[in-house]
Amino acid sequence: MIYIGCHLSVTNGYEAMGKKMLDFGGNTFAYFTRNPRGGKSKEIIPEDAAALNQLLRENRFGALVAHGSYTMNLCASNPVTKANGLDMLQKDIDRMEAFPGNFYNFHPGAHTGQGADKGIELIAEALNSVLFPQMQTTVLLETMAGKGTEMGRSFEELRAIIDRVELSDKLGVCFDTCHVWDAGYDIAGDLDGVLQRFDDVIGLERLYAVHFNDSKNPCGSHKDRHEKLGEGCIGMEAMKRIALHPALQNKPFILETPNDDSGYIKEIRTVLSWMK
């Protein structure tokens, strides 16, 4: 089995998100640790956090996949942007300790013309400055589509970052199906081959979560345009094969498809029907 859910808003608090996902019929979810375009984060009230943690235990949820801000760029050439990104990362990781055992996922960033090698160096440097041995959160680098100077466009780039982080046991990868497809990995025609490549380069033991999205674009487009399940270029049969693949079982699958609540409920039900 897999765990299935979608992104939820933290506006009404943390326990409220858990209750909403129960209403949706899912058993995991994602949320932004702060406004996805930057800004302040939602205050964590200890009683609210404790209530969510209890709800997750009682309902046997899979791990949650919190998401860092899109504006966080740890390898920016602009020193102010880079410093702001590091500040967000530090504060987000500290806040995640209120929800032990879950995942914090972020986009590695864009090297903004400095070159991939410099981007790798700066991302690893930032992670080395904030990770600590006692932390109860696993930090996930997200696979990216590779538009512009975006980092994480290949498994090799992610591996290079991991290799430079001292506490690499605190790191994993979030496998975004739209992103890897747009990056040129044919998960529709050769899923086994792509996962074997991931295993050879990074190791499947580091694949902790899946962003489960179809794509509006053909394989290798490097555009990053998500689509509803079965309505894109990956297709429903391929999405089903991904969800049922033995190497991806017992992991949280997070829908980031262009949907409203009713659309997410429908997709959650569809995915759960494949598990029967």
Q: What is the pLDDT of residues 80-100, one digit of tens each?
A: 999 999 999 999 999 999 999
Q: What is the pTM of this model?
A: 0.96
Average pLDDT of span 234-248: 98
What are the structural domains of the chain?
3-274 (3.20.20.150)
Nearest to 206 by CA among 255, 158, 257: 158
Average pLDDT of span 175-197: 98
Distance, in Å, from the CA atom of 212 to the CA atom of 267, rounded to the nearest integer, reads 10
Long-range contacts of 95-98 (CB under 8 A, 24+ apart): 95/33, 95/41, 95/44, 96/33, 96/66, 96/135, 96/136, 96/137, 97/135, 97/136, 97/137, 98/44, 98/46, 98/49
* pLDDT at position 211: 98
